[in-house]
Amino acid sequence: MVDYDDISRCDCTVIHEDVVNRVKSNMPPDERLYDLAELFKVFGDTTRVKILWALDESEMCVCDLAVLLNMTQSAVSHQLRVLKQARLVKFRKDGKNVYYSFDDDHVKSIFEQGLLHISEG
């Protein structure tokens, strides 16, 4: 049944109530889809994609990444924080340096699927 308390913001009439109800009952909870979007938001930035791609190739320190990407150390550091929070990279400290590396098995395959999509243009 359509929950009419929930459709207050919608300015349409319900055309296919059966479809809406079926789809609604099969949808993952909002929170889950929100988390999913949050994850993809992390991938939705060229700098972060480059960093992830680089770290999949080799462990690198912040300075190396800054040189590679031709960006300030600060900008790279800010983005690494985002990647860290999303549990996509890990790091180890060695003296003054901090070495970042890849920390996820799924990301590469997500990227590969993404590349398949944009290749079919």
Partner DNA sequence: TAATCACATGAACAGTTATTCATATGTTCA
Partner DNA sequence: TGAACATATGAATAACTGTTCATGTGATTA
> Is residue 101 a contact point for a copy of itself (CB under 8 A)?
no
Answer left, alpha or beta for residue 94, where phi above 0 means left and psi between -120 and 50 means alpha.
beta
With binding defined as CB under 8 A, does residue 98 bind a copy of itself?
Answer: no
**Token couple for 99:** 């070495």
Select from DNA, a copy of itself, none the partner in contact with residue 92, using the beta carbon and a kind-dependent cut-off of 5 to 8 Å: none
Distance CA 66, CA 119 (A): 28
Q: What are phi and psi of 45, to 5 degrees?
A: -145, 130
Confirm if 75 and 29 have CB atoms less than 8 A apart: no
12 interacts with DNA by CB under 7 A? yes
Q: For binding to a copy of itself (CB under 8 A), which residues are involved?
A: 2, 6-16, 19-20, 22-24, 26-28, 30, 32-46, 48-50, 53-54, 57-58, 60-64, 66-68, 70-73, 87, 97, 104, 106-107, 109-111, 113-118, 121
